[in-house]
Structure 1
């Protein structure tokens, strides 16, 4: 059996990727920082096939120890301080984990390496936030970066150091430049899940208002379950390369809100939504839309879940979740 190590195992991508790898008959290991992580019990309960190992992206020696213990064939680095708004408040921590954490993990891969005939294959989770103030649309693998947040800046470092270690040391190391991808497993701090959960609570009479920031930014939104399939496909290629993963369609936050409320049977969404300047970013990314032609042609990857279906999936999940918590029976 092939072995895979996933950092960021408790996040939505880590969970979907773990399921995919398990279906592909991998032994799956998930990296966590310390045993006090409140989400470890969830992973052990819902994903019993994942073996938890302890390590820290801020500690090189712990990463070397984990790789020596696990001896993985593939490493997927999904771990990061990934909430853009938080990165403005904790820029140094974001740089240390999201940026330098990639360097440490690459160094650990280089040191442990795997056998010469079967080197460790490394995947870096890059982000469309690296494009930031976009130089061209749609964005491709060759579009210059102009990040607009500490998170985006850290991701650029992680992306470039992955390229550098591939070129300098011959590592099998690649990056997926993933555009926004969501799911019912998305954290509540992200705007999409904040919207769908609030819509569910408003529909059930548990909440009156939804408070948001800027409704105008446009994003290329896809389904996380589709996007982790692209991650795995990248590491199955003969040569490591970087790929944009996106739907090629863009929607505003306003569009997302409108669809979510309509799916719940609440047509006049403006009655329930308030804007608050506190939720505006210091530097906004106005438009992101990706061109995934390379992933389509070389990986054979295509998204399967459309935007409307994604929004409906998330609203339906949160309706069931909030109704169960409140003891409300749904029709």
Structure 2
């Protein structure tokens, strides 16, 4: 008798992590369903082209009825909630939308699973974030934030994510649902949207190399982040739902680099050592409140799940620059 394929519903499948996760689950022979928002979602066609075996369901985290329908159609063994209004800068100018989707959307999806009668059978992954820590109350310098560190979000995005994190834990404790939260530090890659600083840099470096633009405009260059590769982190998401018990895990590299460090490596890929004449600071990109440093401690994930990163920071930057040179090339 043939074993039944596991079924997974992925929200945010049109985003960076959604693409990596769709690829991973496909390789593991899951039947994958993806939630897409709106009839004219510009990224829908790209997902259909890259992942023809994924079944797309229209729905919106801010629309509870559509989520109930998505659960009924997908009948999932695993739910990965990756969808969010996830750009920190955007959240300052659109705080209400950010809360409705990134915060209350988690509640809506948890309720859809619970009311469907699948609460005892569906494992739920909630994408939490290092932005919940906020860079303050950093009482263990050098050790990095872990699962027991204090939260102090410094943006509407971080606040909304913290609500989603706590409501997910509440449903785990109140209803006995298998809910695991992954507190992920910054993770980037070739699938990252150009509105994020890392991809903005590598795309600009590629275009400068190809003679398509003269410079790049950025905000602050001094913040430090714990940057890893998105493919490694989505593998960690899957590992959390294969664990015997629902728990929360930090995924991070345990190292920090500044935006200046990222610029240095990216420009080095095109043979430029002094990048400063090509970078201009634009006050429009400064945020009302900035996080100085985010450093994570992945010790629990490494020891309990056996998770570890495979792609180094240097390899990630190189991969991104090479990808964007190929993408921007006239022959592409």
Q: TM-score, normalised by structure 1?
A: 0.96
Asked if 1 retains the 8 angstrom alpha-carbon contact of 2:119 and 2:177, the reply is no
Superposed displacement of residue 238, structure 1:
1.1
Q: 2:176 aligns with which of 170, 181, 198?
A: 170
Q: Distance in 2 between matches of 1:293 and 1:237?
A: 16
Q: 1:30 aligns with which of 12, 15, 34?
A: 34
Q: 1:111 aligns with which of 109, 115, 120?
A: 115
Superposed displacement of residue 13, structure 1:
0.2
Asked if 2 retains the 8 angstrom alpha-carbon contact of 1:57 and 1:104, the reply is yes
State the match for 1:125 in structure 2.
Answer: 127
Superposed displacement of residue 267, structure 1:
1.3
Instruction: Give unmatched runs, 5+ long, in structure 2.
Output: none
1:227-242 mapped onto 2 (5 Å cutoff): 227-242=233-248
Superposed displacement of residue 115, structure 1:
7.6
State the match for 2:78 in structure 1.
Answer: 74
State the match for 1:93 in structure 2.
Answer: 97
Q: Distance in 2 between matches of 1:18 and 1:309?
A: 22
State the match for 1:301 in structure 2.
Answer: 307
Residue by residue over 1:106-135, the C-alpha shift from the partner in whole angstroms, topping out at 9 and shown as x without a partner, is 11111113285xx11000000000000332
Superposed displacement of residue 327, structure 1:
3.8
Q: Distance in 1 between matches of 2:148 and 2:212?
A: 47
1:108-257 mapped onto 2 (5 Å cutoff): 108-114=112-118, 116=120, 119-136=121-138, 137=141, 138-257=144-263
Superposed displacement of residue 262, structure 1:
0.7
1:312 paired to 2:314? no
Q: Distance in 2 between matches of 1:157 and 1:268?
A: 43
Instruction: Give unmatched runs, 5+ long, in structure 1.
Output: none
Q: Distance in 2 between matches of 1:246 and 1:134?
A: 18
Tell me how large the CA RMSD over aligned residues is: 1.0
**Number of residue-to-residue matches in the alignment:** 324
Q: 2:265 aligns with which of 259, 279, 290?
A: 259
Q: Distance in 2 between matches of 1:164 and 1:147?
A: 19
1:322 paired to 2:328? yes
Q: Distance in 2 between matches of 1:78 and 1:2?
A: 19
Match of 2:183, SS state, is strand
